Amino acid sequence: MSHLPPQTKTLGPCGPLRGTITVPGDKSISHRSLMLSALAVGESRVEGLLEGEDVLATAAAMRAMGAEIQRGADGIWRIHGVGVGGLRQPDTALEMGNSGTSTRLLMGLVASHAITATFTGDASLSGRPMGRVIEPLSAMGAAITASLGGRLPLMLRGLCPAVPITYTLPVASAQVKSAILLAGLNTPGITTVIEPVATRDHSERMLAGFGADLSVEQGPEGRIIQIRGEAELRPQQIVVPGDPSSAAFWLVAASVVPDSDILVANVGLNPTRTGVIAALRLMGADITEENARVVGGEPVADLRVRHATLRAIEVPTELTPSMIDEYPVLFVAAAFAEGRTVARGAHELRVKESDRIAAMRAALELCGVVCEEFEDGLAITGTGGAPIAGGATIASLLDHRIAMSLSVAALHARRPITIDDAAPVATSYPGFYASLDRLAADTAEQAA
């Protein structure tokens, strides 16, 4: 898989952001639509797929294991699956690039097939621990040889038939839950996942849509998800809604740049993904939903956001699972709020594409923002709506969300902010800077 060379990006203050944009397809749904379509018998069609590097890594891996996957000139992806249990031995290592989601979910798929796969990734992904997935998949019978610290590159030898397990998630993680459920697809009997804290439920919704025998109940220990193995999946027609994680950048940008008014069209509003909207509304953001509808079992709406005066809050920890990817840009919103915002309970940020707690503290402090770092979050003292100082060069650490979050911060800074490498943005939002150009013609921007 090819990687873009480093791209330095400098952005400065801009005038009001105005217009209507459509964000890329939801990354979580895009990954899962490719994987499950590849396990169905017949042709599935996926419209609106996110065509970023992470999702393309998933497509390449499923091709390597036997699925036929093609993108038509009409932008629709057509997938001819191999059936549950039909994955074949890949000829070469599966190159995951920067995609932790691809890696963890595909490890689940391979775990219950009689094949061996080697997973490799870029420097960022290779530094991220996979132990939380290795533990339950090993209990199901997979033999996993990982690099020091449970990291990539690693080799996974699946077991067929695998052993069904009942597993309680020690930490809230949709990726770990999904990996176990995907392994359970080709495992005889019933595989059970108990999550004490609910996480995004795209896997459950999509597995049921493809015809898997899956149940979800609320018990005293939390949500109990059970899947009966040796499933037969039916091909589907899928329309991927816009990614709320990508929309979050525009929600914050329009909230902090004076006189802004943006309509973000076709945003997925799965209730397990809308924590950042709830948090921003608690801060006083002016976000309204228009044209609410249901598409493919997922709630969708157009989001209109106007500039507003933001107030500091203590971010409710119960929102954490539904906004874990949006914390970096929420930290940016806090930098412009009135008062001291405290966000805690987000330990998982330490093991994302970068240590997002330390990375955002360092970046914001370089831009003149007062921060206090905790093991599980940050406290940020905002400007009350005034521009931040800016004038810094920020290390993105190969993390697309760090790069985009600081790009948003630059739009209301006194001096331009330079991102040392904006190339990772292509992993999730290839058109981010083109969209910014459309919304703010006066944005002071240069690429070197």
* CB-based contact 247:25 (threshold 8 Å): no
* Residue of 325, 399, 420, 421 with catalytic role: 325
pLDDT score, position 14: 92
- Does the annotation list 356 as a binding residue? yes
Helix/strand/coil (H, E, C) string of 28-92? HHHHHHHHHHHHECCEEEEECCCCCHHHHHHHHHHHHCCCEEEECCCCCEEEECCCCCCCCCCCC
Per-residue pLDDT band at 4 (split at 50, 70, 90):
low
- Does the annotation list 138 as a binding residue? no
Interstrand relation of 388-390 and 94-95 (parallel, antiparallel or unpaired): unpaired
Residues 6 or more apart in contact with residue 86 via CB below 8 angstroms: 39, 66
- The angle at the Cα of 396, spanning 368 to 420, to the nearest 5 degrees, equals 85
Tell me the pLDDT tens digit for each residue of 193-220: 999 999 999 999 999 999 999 999 999 9
- Does the annotation list 124 as a binding residue? no
Tell me the pLDDT tens digit for each residue of 387-403: 999 999 999 999 999 99
- Does the annotation list 325 as a binding residue? yes
Q: Which CATH class is domain 27-233?
A: alpha beta
- Which amino acid is present at 169? L
Determine the 3-state secondary structure of 350 from DSSP.
Answer: helix
Where are the CATH 3.65.10.10 domain residues in the chain?
Answer: 9-25+241-447, 27-233
Number of Cβ within a 10 Å radius of residue 295: 14
Q: What is the pTM of this model?
A: 0.84
- Which amino acid is present at 309? T
- Does the annotation list 27 as a binding residue? yes
Tell me the pLDDT tens digit for each residue of 112-143: 999 999 999 999 899 999 999 999 999 999 99
- Alpha-carbon gap, residue 225 to 4, rounded angstroms: 40
pLDDT score, position 218: 96
pLDDT score, position 366: 98
- Does the annotation list 72 as a binding residue? no
pLDDT surpassing 70 at residue 2:
no
Q: Is 325 a catalytic residue?
A: yes
pLDDT score, position 357: 97
Per-residue pLDDT band at 297 (split at 50, 70, 90):
confident
- Alpha-carbon gap, residue 177 to 193, rounded angstroms: 7
- Does the annotation list 28 as a binding residue? yes
- Does the annotation list 175 as a binding residue? yes
pLDDT score, position 443: 39
Residues 6 or more apart in contact with residue 419 via CB below 8 angstroms: 8, 9, 10, 11, 393, 394, 396, 403, 406, 407
pLDDT score, position 310: 98
Q: Candidates 3.40.190.10, 3.65.10.10, 3.40.50.2000, 3.40.50.880; correct CATH number of 9-25+241-447?
A: 3.65.10.10
- Does the annotation list 173 as a binding residue? yes
pLDDT surpassing 90 at residue 351:
no
- Alpha-carbon gap, residue 41 to 253, rounded angstroms: 44
Tell me the pLDDT tens digit for each residue of 241-294: 999 999 999 999 999 999 999 999 999 999 999 999 999 999 999 999 999 998
Per-residue pLDDT band at 447 (split at 50, 70, 90):
very low
Tell me the pLDDT tens digit for each residue of 306-325: 999 999 999 999 999 899 99
Nearest to 31 by CA among 401, 428, 433: 428
The length of the chain, given as a count of residues: 448
- Does the annotation list 100 as a binding residue? yes
